[in-house]
């Protein structure tokens, strides 16, 4: 099955497969943790039972998604020590501490307060429960901050030196953490997480409104999700534009592949809306273009010159077709989110937000599109970085461990089988929970911890079952 692939290609496929599974869960849990904090705060302020019902409903979904995110993330770290041990050795002095900070400051924060958020309302009081909920939300944002710092350093390395062993070593931690692309990448990812969650919440709200337009929790979650789209979708497009300009400055080859510019344009570059990259002829076939618009977007000047891939050595070009198509999927979905938000705003102004069944069906259709957009964005970012793991400094081919192709192929097959079984079952379970109305008393999870080991306390047992009672 994988006989024609090299060990490097298989190792890249394996990492792409596992990271694609992993990224969808943090993208969901980051936004959902903040949503839970808002719901809990609104419940404490208004004592409106609808907010408490929604908090109880979504916290159980959050618990399952958070667990799958943790498990899928742990697997990735093992690959750094197996398939990519040379990369780990070269970058360990810089990336190792950053990953450790993520565990110490973010994961511990999430794990430490997660139990209180899930089960502690009746045990610790409202104030501490609210504090725990806020800390879980803050922890997910901190986790994203450190991980995006790591990834951004690999894209735009700064503050480093190279020792006699060829390792990257830290010289300025401020420059390492706050490297040139970090602020743009973090903003873009966090906004993407909020949009992803808003689309899921809006889709679930739309589903239950179609079944019962008087369902109070469904009306509230649908309204909140649509407001989120109205506010965040335009901000995301602005952040994406600024991120693109930053990428043009620091990773021009990636932008050339995104735009499909094989040739340089000294008098202004067109924006290619669609086409089919022809790698052999080095052109875009069947292209639909708007003259000079690419120069206007990227350099804010109609006639600004833009370099093409003809200025890049052939062995430093990223795979154009993958980057070209994934970028258009991400941008297209971004504008679809903007359109859904604008549509909901128009219906809200007309007083028909909960009556427009076409809008509710559109919300259901867009429900999973945030995940698709996040995956397309990551493909654009990571494939566009090739052929480097550390941009311009360390090639992917030089990052690979001395592994044999059959061994990597065997582990890749094992990952595919196990992932589809475990995460397929987990995703099916999540969909089942979302399919039930928010007022459902139990979604399959108990409202308190279940003892799995040790002796069951006498107070929690049936006295009739105790010998001698």
CA–CA distance, 355 with 213 (Å, rounded to integer) = 7
Beta bridge partners of 394: 390
Beta strands of 33-174 (E only): which ranges?
Answer: 160-162, 168-170
CA–CA distance, 292 with 289 (Å, rounded to integer) = 9
At 178, phi and psi to the nearest 5?
A: -100, 55
CA–CA distance, 202 with 197 (Å, rounded to integer) = 8
What's the confidence (pLDDT) of residue 101?
86
With a pLDDT cut of 70, the percent of the chain lying above it is: 93
| 122-138 pLDDT tens trace | 888 899 999 999 999 99
Give the DSSP per-residue string, 48-76: -HHHHHHHHHHHHHHHHHHHHHHHHHHHH
CA–CA distance, 393 with 162 (Å, rounded to integer) = 11
- Tallying the residues shown for the chain, one arrives at 469
Cis peptide before 39 (omega within 30 of 0): no
Between residues 207 and 121, which one has the greater pLDDT? Answer: 207
Give the DSSP per-residue string, 293-345: HHHHHHHS-TT--B--GGGS-GGG---HHHHHHHHHHHHHHHHHHHHHHHHHH
The contacts of residue 80 (CB under 8 Å, 6+ apart) are: 87, 88
| 108-126 pLDDT tens trace | 787 788 888 888 888 888 9
What's the confidence (pLDDT) of residue 461?
43
Task: Say if residues 255 and 248 touch (Cβ distance below 8 Å).
Answer: yes
Residue 208, Cβ neighbours under 10 Å: how many?
22
CA–CA distance, 317 with 298 (Å, rounded to integer) = 20
> Radius of gyration (Cα) for the chain, nearest Å?
25
How many whole angstroms from its chain centre is CA 298? 25
| 232-280 pLDDT tens trace | 999 999 999 999 999 999 999 999 999 999 999 998 899 999 999 998 8
What's the confidence (pLDDT) of residue 124?
86
| 327-371 pLDDT tens trace | 999 999 999 999 999 999 999 999 999 999 999 999 999 999 999
Least confident of 60-69, 101-110, 172-181: 101-110
Asked if pLDDT for residue 460 goes beyond 60, the answer is no
What's the confidence (pLDDT) of residue 43?
92
Asked if pLDDT for residue 458 goes beyond 80, the answer is no
Asked if pLDDT for residue 325 goes beyond 60, the answer is yes
| Three-class SS state of 286 | strand
pTM (two decimals): 0.89
CA–CA distance, 20 with 112 (Å, rounded to integer) = 27
With a pLDDT cut of 90, the percent of the chain lying above it is: 60
What's the half-sphere exposure (Cβ side, CA atoms, 13 Å) at 133? 31
What's the confidence (pLDDT) of residue 21?
81
pLDDT band at 79 (very low <50, low <70, confident <90, very high): confident
pLDDT band at 468 (very low <50, low <70, confident <90, very high): very low
| Three-class SS state of 465 | helix
Q: Is the dihedral of CA 277, 254, 15, 29 positive or negative?
A: negative
CA–CA distance, 78 with 178 (Å, rounded to integer) = 26
pLDDT band at 455 (very low <50, low <70, confident <90, very high): low
Instruction: Report the chain's mean pLDDT, rounded to a whole number.
Output: 88
Q: Is 349 exposed, middle or buried (0-12, 13-18, 19+ CB in 10 A)?
A: exposed
What's the confidence (pLDDT) of residue 431?
92
pLDDT band at 443 (very low <50, low <70, confident <90, very high): low
- How large is the average pLDDT for residues 68-93? 85
Asked if pLDDT for residue 442 goes beyond 60, the answer is no
pLDDT band at 102 (very low <50, low <70, confident <90, very high): confident
Q: Is 286 exposed, middle or buried (0-12, 13-18, 19+ CB in 10 A)?
A: exposed
Q: Which two tokens stand for residue 326?
A: 């994934």
What is the 3-state secondary structure of 366-428?
HCCHHHHHHHHHHHHHHHHCCCEEECCCEECCCCCCCCCHHHHHHHHHHHHHHHHHHHHHHHH
Asked if pLDDT for residue 1 goes beyond 70, the answer is no
pLDDT band at 466 (very low <50, low <70, confident <90, very high): very low
């Amino acid at each position: 099955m994988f006989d024609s692939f090299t060990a490097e290609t298989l190792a890249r496929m394996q990492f792409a497969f596992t990271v694609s599974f992993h990224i969808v869960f943090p993208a969901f849990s980051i936004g959902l943790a903040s949503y839970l904090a808002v719901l809990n705060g609104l419940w404490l302020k208004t004592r409106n039972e609808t907010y408490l019902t929604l908090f109880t409903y979504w916290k159980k979904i959050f618990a399952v998604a958070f667990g799958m995110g943790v498990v899928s993330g742990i697997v990735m770290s093992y690959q750094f020590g197996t398939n990519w041990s040379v990369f780990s050795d070269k970058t360990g002095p810089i990336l190792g501490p950053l990953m450790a900070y993520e565990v110490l400051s973010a994961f511990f924060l999430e794990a430490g307060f997660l139990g209180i958020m899930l089960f502690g309302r009746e045990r610790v009081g409202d104030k501490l429960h609210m504090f725990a909920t806020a800390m879980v939300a803050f922890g997910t944002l901190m986790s994203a901050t450190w991980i995006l710092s790591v990834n951004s350093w690999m894209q735009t390395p700064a503050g480093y030196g190279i020792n006699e062993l060829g390792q990257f070593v830290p010289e300025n931690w401020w420059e390492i953490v706050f490297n040139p692309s970090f602020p743009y990448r973090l903003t873009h990812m966090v906004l993407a997480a909020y949009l992803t969650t808003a689309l899921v919440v809006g889709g679930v709200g739309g589903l239950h409104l179609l079944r019962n337009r008087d369902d109070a929790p469904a009306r509230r979650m649908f309204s909140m999700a649509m407001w989120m789209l109205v506010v965040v979708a335009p901000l995301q497009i602005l952040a994406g534009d600024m991120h693109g300009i930053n990428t043009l400055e620091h990773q021009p080859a990636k932008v050339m592949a995104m735009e499909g510019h094989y040739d340089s344009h000294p008098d202004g570059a067109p924006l290619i809306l669609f086409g089919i990259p022809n790698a052999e002829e080095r052109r875009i076939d069947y292209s639909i273009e708007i003259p000079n618009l690419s120069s206007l977007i990227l350099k804010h000047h109609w006639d600004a010159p833009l370099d093409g891939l003809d200025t890049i050595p052939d062995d430093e070009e990223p795979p154009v077709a993958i980057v070209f198509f994934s970028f258009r999927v991400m941008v297209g979905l971004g504008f679809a989110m903007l359109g859904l938000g604008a549509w909901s705003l128009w219906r809200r102004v007309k007083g028909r937000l909960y009556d427009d069944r076409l809008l509710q069906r559109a919300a259901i259709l867009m429900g999973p599109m945030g995940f698709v957009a996040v995956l397309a964005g990551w493909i654009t970012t990571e494939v566009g970085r090739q052929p480097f793991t550390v941009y311009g400094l360390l090639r992917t081919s030089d990052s690979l461990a001395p592994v044999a192709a059959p061994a990597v192929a065997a582990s890749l097959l094992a990952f595919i089988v196990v992932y589809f079984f475990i995460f397929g079952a987990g995703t099916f379970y999540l969909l089942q929970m979302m399919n039930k109305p928010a007022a459902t008393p139990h979604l399959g999870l108990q409202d308190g911890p279940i003892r799995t080991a040790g002796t069951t306390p006498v107070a929690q047992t049936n006295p009739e079952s105790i010998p001698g009672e």
